[in-house]
Structure 1
Amino acid sequence: MKIVKFGGSSLSSGVQIRKVFQIVKSDPERRIVVVSAPGKRFKGDVKITDLLLKLAEAILNEEKTAQIYEQIFLRYQAIGDFFKIPRSGIEQLKEHLYSVAQADYPSNDFFRAALSAQGENMSAHLITLIFKQLGLKARLLTPKEVGLTVSGEARKAQILPGSYAKIAKTKFTDNEVLIFPGFFGITKNGLINTFSRGGSDITGAILARGFGADLYENFTDVDSIYAVNPGLVADPAPIKEMTYNEMRELSYAGFAVFHDEAILPAIQGKIPICVKNTNRPEMPGTKIVPRDKVSHKNKITGIASSHHFQAIYLHRYLINREVGFTAKILKIMADLNISYEHMPSGIDDLTIILDKNQLTNGRKEKLTQRIKDEIQPDDLQWRNDYAIIMVVGEGLVNRVGAMADIVDPIRDAGISLTMVNQGSSEISIMLGVRPEDEQKAVKAIYNDHFENGHPKKELQIPRASFKSVSKSLIANFFV
């Protein structure tokens, strides 16, 4: 059995949904279809989820909402008309959305969660009607029906472990296709709560584990996952196969094709994933599998980057000898509900890299003041714009000269590093650069390791390169 998830671009119009229908119909193993909210149809279009969030803000601010409602309903109406779905089906969606918008919620964030989840919810209802109209025996299945229970922090839902056993008990017949809305689950108190944005990937992975699927297919709008952002490099190398850990590292660092949290249920259930293109389903796509199932180990699998970070740099002599120094900082951050991404350190220095989306509502100022008061560093500096580049590959493990291979092309491009860190798993090397150097650095690494859409052949690393990299690291670490 296969769990199949379709992203917003795959469900943006009647034309696209017809492709989805043909994909599902072509393989009887595709039994459970997870759907997103309709995405953009063209450049400048607006995703349904964004319209719903805009609606939520308008309601909260007591602003006019008629035009936003109309934009939302017209999208679903256009899809329904394409398949000649009776208008009564769309009217039911309208009534449902109005009722959700008028209900009571314990907080504004739970109101936003409930409203934003309706893109997937209405999509699932409509696609069920469409599949039936086109001759498939389709049935709508909801998170409440299968017991997909999530945690209670609004808009940051996490699956509760007991959900998997409940999902496994769900009954369905051999000749029916189940349609399931992605992106949300139900709390123990019966509230709708959403995963982080892009969370339909997570839903698909949860169901794949819960139902014990043989494969989780994730359909999007690209032929495969590429070794680098196609916006930076023309005709980048496609990744044919990669490990769960490689995908998680790359997704976290900026690969937008697949949600990094969606890897976890697949890992736990040992469910292979295949990312494919709705517009060209005959293409093989990218397989994501356990490490022992990978048939090749290129030195570098992919290069990702992101600049949604800030870094706080602390200097105080002999912090390496002070027992509990880091614990004091982490306690302050925990009090302010701030998590950190990375914390590279030296004997007298510590850099804490944070997702800057957390530093709102005065938390940055509070964090700064408490560290000054309680830690009393000799120097404290904020680096307000901070870019991270992640170079990932199972082939980096136990490879002599791996760091030189990554750092040398950056040095040759005249780029100064602000941080270098290799993960304990050895499959990733993280580099900090100034935001203005981010794209140049990514292209320098890629061009040094890939050519004509394929990894370059291995070359013997000259000894001089080790000297150059050590000098480069000494000169650039925490510059």
Structure 2
Amino acid sequence: MKVSKFGGSSLADGRQLQRVFDIIQSDKNRKVIVVSAPGKRFKDDTKVTDLLLSYAKATVEDTDATEIIETIKNRYHAIGDYFKLPAYELADIDEQIDHLSTKHYRSFDYLYAAFAAHGEYLNAQLVAKVFSHLGIPARFIDPQEIGLQVDDNARSATFDVKSYTSIAKLDLNTSERLIIPGFFGYTKNGDMATFSRGGSDITGAIMARGLSADLYENFTDVSAIYAVNPTIIDQPAAIEQMTYDEMRELSYAGFAVFHDEAIIPAIQGGIRINIKNTNEPDAPGTFIVPPTEVQQTRPVTGIANSNRFAALYLHRYLLNKEVGFTLRILEILKRHNISYEHMPSGIDDLTIIFDKTSLSQEQVDNMLADIASDIKPDTLKWLPSYGIIMIVGEGMRNRIGALTEIVTPLKEHGISLQMVNQGASEISIMLGIQPDLADRAVKAIYDNIFKA
């Protein structure tokens, strides 16, 4: 049995949904279908989720949302009309959209979560209606029906692993395709709460593990995961297979094809993942598998980079001799509800790297003030933009000269580094670099490893 998840670009309009229908019809093992909200149909289009968030904002501010509501309805109507779906089927969806603004919500956070979740919630209903209309028996499954429960973090929910017991009870001995909305679950109070953005991948992985699927297929708009960002390298090498840990490392540093949190349920359940292209379904795609199943052909599997980081640099003589120094820093971070990504250090130096997308300027200012006051460093610098490059590969484990193959081409191109850090697992090397040099550095490393 396969769990198949389709992203927003795969469900953006009727033409794309026809491709999805053909894919499902071609394989009876594609039993459980997890769907995203309709995505962009063209470059300057707006995703349905973003339209729903605008609707939520208008509701909170008590402003006229008539135009937004009509735009949302038209997106679903256009898909239904493509398949000549009966008018009453679409009227049901219209009613739910209208009703969103009249419901009572525990807080504004839960309001926003519920509005956003309805992109997937309504689309799963529509997909089930279309499939049944076209001759494939299909049934919409509300996550509440199968006990998919999450914690009380309304807009960045964490899945409750106890839910696996109830998910496993879902009856698969039916001729129906089971259509499940991604991106959200329900709290113990029955409120909708969403995973972080891109969370339909998480739902797909949860369902695959909960149902002990043979394969979790993740359909998107690319035919494979590539060894490097195609905007940096023209026609980069496709990755045929990679391990769970390699995917986690690369997703963290910028690979956006697969949500990095979604790999966890698959790891825990030992579920193989296949990234495939809705528009080229016969292409093999990329398999993400346990380390024992991978046959390495290169030392490096992929290179990722991201400029979403910021860094704090601190210098104080003999800080390595001071017992509890790092603890004092961590207590300041905790005081201001700040998490950090990495903390490489020397005998007199410490660099703390943060994901700047999760920081407010107020948090940064207060943190720096407290460190200056409590720690009294000789030097304290805030670097608001900090680039990270991750070079990842199971083949680097115990490989002599792996670091040389990475830094030598940088030296030859006159590119300096701010930080080098190799993880304890030995499958990744992290480079800190000026953001404006990151693309050049990635290209130099890629050419040396993949074109040599």
| Aligned twin of 2:101 | 101
SS at match of 2:388: strand
Give the unaligned 5+ runs of structure 1.
457-479
Contact 1:297 1:393 in 2 (8 A): no
Q: Which digits, 9 at most, give the CA deviation of each residue in 1:346-398, with x for residues without a partner?
A: 11111111111222161111111111122221211000111111110001111
Listed as ranges, the matches of 1:151-230 within 5 Å are 151-230=151-230
Question: How many angstroms does 1:297 deviate by?
Answer: 4.7
Report the TM-score when normalising by structure 1: 0.93
Counterpart residue number, 2:333: 333
Corresponding residue of 1:244: 244
- Partner residue of 1:472? none
Matches within 5 A, 1:301-340: 301-340=301-340
Percent of aligned pairs with the same residue? 56
Whether 2:237 is the aligned partner of 1:232: answer no
**2:266 paired with 1:269:** no
Aligned with 2:287: secondary structure? strand
**TM-score, normalization by structure 2:** 0.98
| Structure 2 partner of 1:290 | 290
Higher mean C-alpha deviation, range 86-95 or range 351-360: 86-95
TM superposition shift of 1:22: 0.7
Counterpart-to-counterpart distance in 1, 2:227 and 2:210:
31
For residues 325-345 of structure 1, the C-alpha deviation after alignment (integer angstroms, 9 at most, x for no partner) is 111111221222211111111
Q: Mark the runs of 5 or more structure 2 residues left unpaired by the alignment.
A: none
5 Å-filtered alignment, 1:21-170, equals 21-170=21-170
Deviations 1:381-429 (A, max 9, x none): 0001111111100011111111111111112121111111111111111
Q: Secondary structure at the match of 2:94?
A: helix
- Whole-angstrom CA distance in 2 between matches of 1:231 and 1:132: 40
Runs of at least 4 residues off by over 6 Å:
none
C-alpha contact 2:202 2:259 (8 A) present in aligned 1: yes
What letter corresponds to residue 47 of structure 2 in structure 1?
A: K
Aligned-residue offset at 1:287: 0.4
Task: Tell me the alpha carbon deviations over residues 102-145 of structure 1, each in whole angstroms, 9 at most, x when there is no partner.
Answer: 22223222211111111101110000000000111101111101
The letter for the 2-side match of 1:110 is Y
Inter-partner Cα distance in structure 2 for 1:364 and 1:189: 35
C-alpha separation between the residues in 1 aligned to 2:358 and 2:405? Answer: 34
- Kindly tell me: are residues 297 and 157 of structure 1, through their superposed partners in 2, closer, same or farther at Cα, counting changes over 3 Å? farther
Alignment correspondent of 2:14: 14
The answer to whether the Cα contact below 8 Å between 2:217 and 2:274 also exists between their aligned partners in 1 is yes
Q: CA RMSD in A?
A: 1.1
**Alpha-carbon distance between aligned partners in 2 of 1:182 and 1:32, rounded to the nearest angstrom:** 12
Tell me how far apart the structure 2 counterparts of residues 241 and 80 of structure 1 sit (CA, whole Å).
37
Shift of 1:261: 0.3
1:414 aligns with 2:418: no
Residue number in structure 2 paired with 1:435? 435
Contact 1:205-1:262 at 8 Å conserved across structures: yes
SS at match of 1:217: strand
Q: Work out whether residues 297 and 394 of structure 1, in 8 Å CA contact, stay in contact via their aligned partners in 2.
A: no
1:298 Cα deviation after fit: 1.9
**Aligned amino acid, residue 350 of structure 2:** L
Q: SS at 1:88's partner residue?
A: helix
Per the alignment, residue 450 of structure 1 pairs with 450
Deviation at 1:156, TM superposition (A): 1.0
Q: Cα distance, 1:172 vs. partner?
A: 3.5
Whole-Å separation in 2 of the counterparts to 1:282 and 1:44? 29
Q: Structure 1 residues 394-403 or 170-179, which shifts more?
A: 170-179
Residue by residue over 1:170-224, the C-alpha shift from the partner in whole angstroms, topping out at 9 and shown as x without a partner, is 2233311100000001111211111111000000000000000000000001110
1:422-456 CA distances to partner (integer Å, 9 max, x unpaired)?
111111111111111111111111111123xxxx4
Cα distance change on mapping 1:254 and 1:286 into 2, 3 Å: same
Q: Give the aligned partner of residue 467 of structure 1.
A: none
CA–CA separation in structure 2 for the residues paired with 1:374 and 1:280 = 58
Q: For the residues of structure 2 that align with 1:66 and 1:349, how far apart are their CA atoms?
A: 57
Matching residue's letter, 1:196: S
C-alpha deviation, 1:98, in angstroms: 2.4
> Would the aligned equivalents of 1:38 and 1:119 in 2 still touch at CA under 8 Å?
yes
Separation (CA, whole Å) in 2 of partners of 1:308 and 1:398: 30
Q: Which residue of 2 aligns with 1:423?
A: 423
